[in-house]
Amino acid sequence: MSFWGHEALAKIDANTAAAEVEQGAQLVDVGEPQDWFAGHIPNAILVEPELVDNAVKELAKDKPVVVAARTPDAAQGAAAYLHDHGFQVAILQGGPGAWAASGRPLARADGK
């Protein structure tokens, strides 16, 4: 498993997040469906803020989780919930916007 430092909810940049995903970390995009359709990180799992408890059932506890969200509060809330349920979690600072700003693509519902 990854080790992101001493914080329970570490904050990582897009380069670190991409490296973690390449090594098998699960990527959760916290947001509303319209945000997802407009642009999300490829291969991320959409989790609506009010449905984070469902993600606990779908995610593997033996793999770290990177949480990306469009707002810091949504990221913090989802990450804290997952951490409280036994997941190793890091927050992608800046969410999908930071991912795109790092030169990585976002996927849209129409496949573009």
DSSP string of 37-103? Answer: HH-B-TTPEEE-GGGHHHHHHHS-TTS-EEEEESSHHHHHHHHHHHHHTT--EEEETTHHHHHHHTT
Q: Which domain holds residue 62?
A: 9-101
- Kindly indicate the confidence band of residue 112, based on its pLDDT and cuts at 50, 70 and 90: low
C-alpha 96: how far from chain center: 9
CATH code of 46's domain: 3.40.250.10
Distance between CA atoms of 13 and 11, rounded to whole angstroms?
A: 7
Q: Report which residue type is found at 56.
A: V
Is position 106 within any domain?
Answer: no
Q: Three-state DSSP class for 16? A: helix
Count of domains in the chain?
A: 1
What is the value of pTM for the model shown?
0.89
Does the CA dihedral 23-85-36-96 come out positive or negative? negative
Is position 94 within any domain?
Answer: yes
Largest Cα–Cα separation, the chain: 40
Is position 83 within any domain?
Answer: yes
Is position 112 within any domain?
Answer: no
Is position 31 within any domain?
Answer: yes
Is position 90 within any domain?
Answer: yes
At residue 54, the pLDDT reads 87
| pLDDT tens-digit readout, 3-48 | 555 566 899 999 999 999 999 999 999 999 998 888 899 999 999 9
